[in-house]
Amino acid sequence: MTIKEVAREARVSVATVSRALNEKGTVRVETRRRVCRAAEKLRYAPHGAARSLITRQTHTLGVLLPDLFGEFFSELIRGIDLAARRRGYHLIVSGSHGDRAETRAMVRAMRGRVDGLLVLSADLDARELEANLPFEFPVVLLNGAGKGVFDAIRVDNYGGASAMVRHVIDLGHERIAFVTGPAKNLDAAERLRGFRDAVGRASGASALEIPGDFREEAGYRAAARILRSRPGPTAVLAANDAMAIGLLSAFRERNVRVPEDVALAGFDDIPIARYMTPPLTTVRVPISDLGARGAERLLQTLERGNGNSGREETLPATLVVRSSCGAQRQKRTVAASRRPRPAAAGPRPLDLNDDSEEARDRRFATLSKEDTR
């Protein structure tokens, strides 16, 4: 169905149909109604590609992410979508899955299909993005460094990680493990830097670092190394909530109690974190707000029409204390002996602070079932 057929049905010119449907120019109220009735009767929809050739706008934003799986990315996309829809824009969303060549290909593929681009990617820096896009193409980086080329909005990952370390140290923990994020990820690097600096400033504190990749499986696997380490950490921090949830699952399978035997905390405050058992202490990242602010910044750039400004903004990260770190109990010294536990049916919980030969044998027997394959 074409605009000419709508014009014929409404007994007006093609130009009048265009003005009426786009709500531009002077059209009498009765004429506009007649055109709208004709378009509805004929089920006419403007051809987006044809319109974009005239207006040079697609009213579509591109979103490039490292992955599309998980609550973090769904919350981020939700924030972007809500902000875009309020301005009449739609989204094209794609994930690179850590493939650098695929990331470049997707950037090039979006040229001409979108009016601007939101990017959260460890695979392309600002200079490389600039090389793969038309001159002054509007881009906003989420948790990236704009390098004065593109606008960038990031989260205070360093401050959030530092606050988490200070919190568990205030609870009396000195042996602290940290499950890191992907090596090339800027968020992960800043969280690791905040962890290291905060531990370094704490007298008597020691750290164990275990590599991770932001996935639940990485946290689950990290539990084996944590339980094998001697002396064992009394607090375990993960660079994101997904890995903390994997750790919690592995600890539960091995009868390690959280927070009685080991304190646990994550990062991001994804929606499910508060519903875990126990509820997860974490650092709240305004995920949906990050997406919405990024979309609004991109739309402002499009409205100005004068290219990227290179502005950078940092959103605060907030410590959210729940029961997985044991904060509801009095501050204690981790080396202090615990009261005897009542006998219970089934295997006795593993005590990470018990360095007796019997305890070590039980720990390694538990681990050998799955983690020494």
Instruction: Examine domains 57-155+287-315 and 157-285+320-368 and report if their fold is the same.
Output: yes
Residue 283: which of 249, 238, 226 has the closest Cα?
Answer: 238
Most confident of 37-51, 96-110, 114-128, 307-321: 307-321
- CA distance linking residue 188 with residue 7, whole number of Å: 57
Q: What pLDDT shows up at residue 201?
A: 92
Per-residue pLDDT at 13 exceeds 80: yes
List the beta bridge partners of residue 207: 176
Q: What pLDDT shows up at residue 184?
A: 79
Residue with tokens 């695979």: 123
Q: What pLDDT shows up at residue 356?
A: 53
pLDDT band at 156 (very low <50, low <70, confident <90, very high): very high
pTM over 0.85: no
Specify the CATH number for 57-155+287-315; select among 3.40.109.10, 3.30.750.24, 2.30.30.100, 3.40.50.2300: 3.40.50.2300
Per-residue pLDDT at 118 exceeds 80: yes
Report yes or no: 297 and 309 within 8 Å, Cβ to Cβ: no
Most confident of 74-78, 109-113, 114-118, 147-151: 74-78
Contacts of 65 (CB under 8 A, 6+ apart): 73, 76, 77, 93, 94, 95, 96, 120, 121
DSSP string of 181-246, one letter each residue = --TT-HHHHHHHHHHHHHHHHSTT-EEEEE---SSHHHHHHHHHHHHHSSSPPSEEEESSHHHHHH
Per-residue pLDDT at 347 exceeds 60: no
Architecture field, domain 157-285+320-368: 3-Layer(aba) Sandwich (3.40)
> To the nearest whole number, what is the mean pLDDT of the chain?
81
| Domain positions in the chain | 3-46, 57-155+287-315, 157-285+320-368
pLDDT band at 145 (very low <50, low <70, confident <90, very high): low
Q: Residues of the chain with pLDDT > 90: what percent?
A: 45
Quote the tokens at residue 95. Answer: 């994930």
Report yes or no: 232 and 226 within 8 Å, Cβ to Cβ: yes
Q: What pLDDT shows up at residue 369?
A: 41
CATH number of 3-46: 1.10.260.40
Contacts of 168 (CB under 8 A, 6+ apart): 176, 235, 237, 263, 265, 325
| Between 354 and 340, residue with greater pLDDT | 354
